[in-house]
Structure 1
Amino acid sequence: MTERELFDSYNKEVYRTCYYMLRNAQDAEDLCHDVFVTVFRQKWRSVEHIRAWIMRITMNHCLNLLKKKQTKREKQNQVQWLHEQTTASVKSVDTIVLEKEAAAEWEKLLNQLPDKLMAVITLRYVGELSMAEIAETLEIPVGTVKSRLHKALKIMRKKLKQNQSFWLKGEKQYGTY
């Protein structure tokens, strides 16, 4: 495999992971470039599990950048990760509004997670990596991946229930429209 073939094979996946971790297209593009510079400077041809190795480099670059930008303001600039248009059909205005509200709610929930938990959620549900691949990527045991995934989902469920009970109280108090 040539460097060009390697780049073509993994470029989109690396960019997507960077984008969902950083929530910024320019940062994702820059980091994607940096990842491949790092890969090509290494002896990548001798790596047995190339995908997991590249994703580990990607996550390390992302986490390093997130550590540098560890402010609330930048975390809140993260854009939606949940919705990608799944069909080319025209959607009703109601559907679009509901999808945007749901995406905004998921984004808000994600923003409240610590970086370690957000990394596991992103790799699992956006990158569609298995538990073993996530463990290899982050260089942590599979049990830790499961634990972080469970904890992140538990936190998100709790926040979601709090939001729902808040809205239900509001409907009872003020009536529904």
Structure 2
Amino acid sequence: MKTDRELFEAYRLDVYRLCFYMLHDKNDAEDVCQDVFITALQSDRSGISQEKSWLLKIAMNRCKTFLDRRNRGARKEKLSFLKFRPRFSESTEEIIERKIHMTEVVQLLENLPIKIRCVMVLRFVNDLSLQDIAQALNIPVGTVKSRLNKGISSLKKDTDSATYFQEKESQMI
């Protein structure tokens, strides 16, 4: 079992990335991410075998709760910045093109129902396996596959984004 610091260092970016993609606001994502780690560090982790899945499940639940509260308050979701994974071999033009494409993808993901968006984000943003997604969301693997297919199908209206997800899915297999 990892120490508190090791747990935080190992999974902070994954948890933050999930929170940001679900909430679309840097400050909200940071707040929920902090709440996730406070909860995790105060919990008994002795029986936890898949720490990443466990943390992402907590994060997903906290994001859903946060969105429910925010939607009840009639505030709209907003996008403040894109996920950025530094790629040192990319030129400036490639970075800009990728950011533009990711903006389009994020906007398309926003239009998906929350259950499908959760699965899509866990698969394509956090690179979780189907089994890990099923465990994190406490649903059968078949449901994960079904939601992924529904998500990709609904994105097929835009050929570029559908190609992006299909390419990423084939790379993960």
Q: Which residue of structure 2 lines up, in the alignment, with residue 42 of structure 1?
A: 43
Q: Which residue of structure 1 lines up, in the alignment, with residue 12 of structure 2?
A: 11
| Counterpart-to-counterpart distance in 2, 1:116 and 1:75 | 16
String of CA shifts for 1:26-75, please: whole Å, max 9, x gaps: 11111111111111222112212222111111111111112222388633
Larger CA deviation: 69-78 vs 106-115? 69-78
3-state DSSP of counterpart to 1:154: helix
Letter in 1 for 2:33: C
Give the TM-score normalised by the residue count of structure 2.
0.79
For structure 2, list consecutive stretches of 5 or more residues without a partner in the other structure. 160-173
Q: Which residue of structure 1 lines up, in the alignment, with residue 136 of structure 2?
A: 137
Q: Shift of residue 9 of structure 1?
A: 1.8
Q: Which residue of structure 1 lines up, in the alignment, with residue 150 of structure 2?
A: 151
Identity of aligned residues (%): 37
Q: Which residue of structure 1 lines up, in the alignment, with residue 115 of structure 2?
A: 116
Q: Shift of residue 131 of structure 1?
A: 0.3
Please tell me whether Structure 1 or Structure 2 has the larger radius of gyration of its CA atoms.
1
| Counterpart-to-counterpart distance in 2, 1:84 and 1:143 | 30
| Counterpart-to-counterpart distance in 1, 2:82 and 2:155 | 15
| Counterpart-to-counterpart distance in 1, 2:97 and 2:110 | 20
Q: Which residue of structure 2 lines up, in the alignment, with residue 174 of structure 1?
A: none
Total equivalences in the alignment: 158
Letter in 2 for 1:61: R
Contact kept, 8 Å, 1:79 with 1:107, in 2: the verdict is: no
Q: Which residue of structure 1 lines up, in the alignment, with residue 104 of structure 2?
A: 105
Q: Which residue of structure 2 lines up, in the alignment, with residue 77 of structure 1?
A: 79
For structure 1, list consecutive stretches of 5 or more residues without a partner in the other structure. 162-177
Q: Shift of residue 103 of structure 1?
A: 2.7
After superposition, the Cα gap between the structure-2 partners of 1:102 and 1:89, relative to the gap in structure 1 and judged at 3 Å, is: closer
Letter in 1 for 2:112: L
| Counterpart-to-counterpart distance in 2, 1:96 and 1:12 | 20
Contact kept, 8 Å, 1:135 with 1:141, in 2: the verdict is: yes
After superposition, the Cα gap between the structure-2 partners of 1:74 and 1:8, relative to the gap in structure 1 and judged at 3 Å, is: same
- Please identify runs of 4+ aligned residues in structure 1 that moved more than 6 A: none
Q: Which residue of structure 2 lines up, in the alignment, with residue 65 of structure 1?
A: 66
Give the TM-score normalised by the residue count of structure 1.
0.77
| Counterpart-to-counterpart distance in 1, 2:25 and 2:11 | 19
3-state DSSP of counterpart to 2:71: coil
Q: Shift of residue 84 of structure 1?
A: 4.1
| Counterpart-to-counterpart distance in 1, 2:78 and 2:35 | 24
String of CA shifts for 1:108-159, please: whole Å, max 9, x gaps: 211211111111111001100000000000111111111111001100112x
| Counterpart-to-counterpart distance in 2, 1:10 and 1:102 | 26
After superposition, the Cα gap between the structure-2 partners of 1:42 and 1:117, relative to the gap in structure 1 and judged at 3 Å, is: same
Q: Shift of residue 19 of structure 1?
A: 1.4
